[in-house]
């Protein structure tokens, strides 16, 4: 059942973003920033953790989940290091995910040939 919930919630998030991209003139980069900031804001308000417990990976894998991870890292680092934690926490919490994305993207660049838009 966890797989079904993750599939449905992740699919709904992706469908909402696709509708936003299709119906507005927002550039994809701006929508990505909105998703990350929205996840951080929901984490700050205490709403993202209950949502993630309900939805599992369907809420943790998309970009709002990344924003929540950044927020959680900043919150923990501020508690531990004070003001300097604002600058350290997000990087420490998300370093593994960012590194994996860079490495897999680099490997994919060897396998696939990029095509420029005309």
**Within a domain: residue 116?**
no
Could you report how far apart the first and last alpha carbons of the chain are, in Å? 43
| 55-99 pLDDT per residue, tens | 888 888 888 999 999 999 999 999 999 999 898 888 888 888 889
Q: Give the count of beta carbons closer than 10 Å to the beta carbon of residue 29.
A: 8
**Within a domain: residue 117?**
no
| 32-44 pLDDT per residue, tens | 999 999 999 999 9
Q: Which domain holds residue 86?
A: 2-111
**Within a domain: residue 38?**
yes
| 10-35 pLDDT per residue, tens | 999 999 999 999 999 999 889 999 99
Q: How many domains does the chain contain in total?
A: 1
**Within a domain: residue 97?**
yes
């Amino acid at each position: 059942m966890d797989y079904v919930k993750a599939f449905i919630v992740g699919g709904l998030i992706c469908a909402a973003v696709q509708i936003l991209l299709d119906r507005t003139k927002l550039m994809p980069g701006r929508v990505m920033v909105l998703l990350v900031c929205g996840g951080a804001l929901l984490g700050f308000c205490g709403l993202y953790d209950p949502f993630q417990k309900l939805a599992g990976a369907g809420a943790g894998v998309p970009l709002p989940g990344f924003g929540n991870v950044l927020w959680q890292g900043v919150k923990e680092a501020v508690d531990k290091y004070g003001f300097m934690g604002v600058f350290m926490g997000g990087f420490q919490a998300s370093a593994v995910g960012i590194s994996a994305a860079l490495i897999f993207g680099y490997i994919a660049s060897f396998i696939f040939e990029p095509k420029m838009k005309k």
